[in-house]
A = this chain, B = another copy of it.
Amino acid sequence: MKTQAKKTIAIDMDGVIADVEPQLIKYYEQQYGVTTTLEAIQGLSHAEAFPLDAITKASLNMPGFFRDLPLMPGAIEAVKKLMEDYEVYIVSAATEFPLSLFEKLEWLKEHFPFISWRNVVLCGDKSIINTDYMIDDHCKNLDFCPGKAIMFNAHHNKHEHQHVRVHNWDEVLELFENERSKSELSI
């Protein structure tokens, strides 16, 4: 049997393995005294959902914002499972927010200690990232992916329909289970 290199998956952080929406709501309220809810921001862009923060993105530049983001439910178990068959890279658009870089590594070390620093990419745009799959919540990232693009559902991407959509990590695992069945059929 020929040994083949594992196929690669680029997995985004914010909105995919880290649940950024409740944190945005919390910081927005603390900074601007305006309360919103998960329900209220569905279908809105970031700028529409958090208009007072749209220009400065001050919330995202506050120390601690990225360090204690809640986990997306099921992410740890699902990533572990995917790593059995795929080479998984965490690819996060982070260089816009310099304070986030160290915090993101610390967050990963806490929640995903089984992911090596070798497999972490903190970048600006993702246009030079080349993986067989990319799981992300932004079209601006997925549109460049030379492999299969998978859109993770988020409040701001409800109206984007050019990529396969998953709503949670169970659906990600289902999708990869189907990919495996397809590739077994084609052997």
Interface residues of A in 116-151 (CB under 8 A from B): 116-125, 128-131, 146
Instruction: Determine which residue in A116, A119, A123, A130 has the highest number of CB atoms from chain B within 10 A of its CB, and name it.
Output: A123
Q: A101 contacts which chain B residues (CB < 8 A)? A: 101-102, 105, 122
**Complex Cα gap A91–B120 (Å):** 13
* Interface pair A128/B98, CB less than 8 Å apart: no
Range for the number of chain A residues in contact with chain B: 20 to 34
Please state if A122 and B95 are interface contacts (CB–CB under 8 Å): yes
Decide if A71 is an interface residue (CB 8 Å cutoff): no
Copies in the complex: 2
The reply to whether A128 and B95 contact each other, CB–CB distance below 8 Å, is: no
Chain B residues with CB under 8 Å of A36's CB are none
Interface residues of A (CB under 8 A from B): 8, 10, 89, 91, 94-96, 98-99, 101-102, 105-106, 116-125, 128-131, 146
A96-B117, A98-B105, A117-B124 known; 8 other A-B pairs, CB under 8 Å? A95-B120, A95-B122, A98-B102, A116-B124, A121-B122, A128-B131, A129-B130, A130-B146
